[in-house]
Amino acid sequence: TAPLIIAVDGPAAAGKGTLAQRLARALDLPYLDTGLLYRATGRRMLDAGLDPATTADDQARRVTLDDLSRTDLRVPEVDRAASLVASQPSVRRILVDIQRAFATRHGAVLDGRDIGTVIFPDARVKLFVTASLAARARRRWEQMTADPDAPDREAQIARVAHELEARDAADSSRAVAPLRAAPDAIHIETDDLSADEVLAEALRIVARMT
């Protein structure tokens, strides 16, 4: 039988990464965070002193799996740079091969925006993970912040919400491979679920479909 491929898509900070990682561990499958490919490309543009809104093909071609373990990929300037390079059709084309090759032999869990629609339209399982903007902003803020008692906590969370909303709007409105649920994706809304509950729900879905 064909290797098991599980696509996990959804907006920023919905809990895709946490779920995909835990699913991979539970099912003993390789895991790829595809956002890191765009982050690594954006990072390379910034390091080279190039504007990430300009063509990033050369930098995308140089991305290797090693680049993905860089520790400076999850910073706000790279959030923006990644989204900008990800809107370039030629960059997406270059990064398709590495994503498909990763999963061909042993299957994989991949999380991103277009895994179920473009990268693996025939994936056996497609999950679309969502949460309200408020829940996503609070979780992302909790991940980032050192001080949970900061006096301007609400203002900080509002700022994170604003940035997530802008990135989702850009990712959803781009012409190529926009953020969108595949017609056959199963939606998981994570507002009222713990990480354990999300994993349990996903494992039930996988069991049903395999």
CB of 26 to ligand C5P, least distance (A): 21
x-or-dash string of contact with ligand C5P, 160-179, rule CB under 6 A: -------x---x--------
14 is in an annotated binding site: yes
Which residues touch 141 (CB under 8 Å, ≥6 apart)?
Answer: 153, 156, 157, 160
Q: Is 113 in the site for ligand C5P (CB under 6 A)?
A: yes
Residue 140 found at the interface with ligand C5P (CB under 6 A): no
Please give the full DSSP string across the chain, using - where no structure is assigned: -PPPEEEEE-STTSSHHHHHHHHHHHHT--EEETHHHHHHHHHHHHHTT--TTS--HHHHHH--GGGGG-TTSSSHHHHHHHHHHHT-HHHHHHHHHHHHHHHHTT-EEEEESSIIIII-TT-SEEEEEE--HHHHHHHHHHHH-S-TT-TTHHHHHHHHHHHHHHHHHHHHH-SSS-S---TTPEEEE-TT--HHHHHHHHHHHHHHH-
Judged by beta carbon, residue 1 or residue 65, the one nearer ligand C5P is 65
114 binds ligand C5P (CB under 6 A): yes
126 labeled binding residue: no
Contact segment (CB under 6 A) with ligand C5P among 18-26, 79-87, 132-140, 148-156 equals 79-87
136 binds ligand C5P (CB under 6 A): no
State in angstroms the smallest separation of the CB of 197 from ligand C5P: 22
Of residues 20-49, those binding ligand C5P (CB under 6 A): 34-35, 38-39
Closest alpha carbon to 73 in 113, 45, 102: 45
CB of 151 to ligand C5P, least distance (A): 28
Q: Is 112 in the site for ligand C5P (CB under 6 A)?
A: yes
Q: Which stretch binds ligand C5P (CB under 6 A): 100-108, 112-120, 156-164, 186-194?
A: 112-120
On whether 183 is known to bind a ligand per the annotation, the reply is no
Q: How far is residue 31's CA from residue 18's CA, in Å, rounded to a whole number?
A: 11
Q: Which residues bind ligand C5P (CB under 6 A)?
A: 12, 34-35, 38-39, 82-83, 86, 112-115, 167, 171
State the binding site for ATP.
10-18
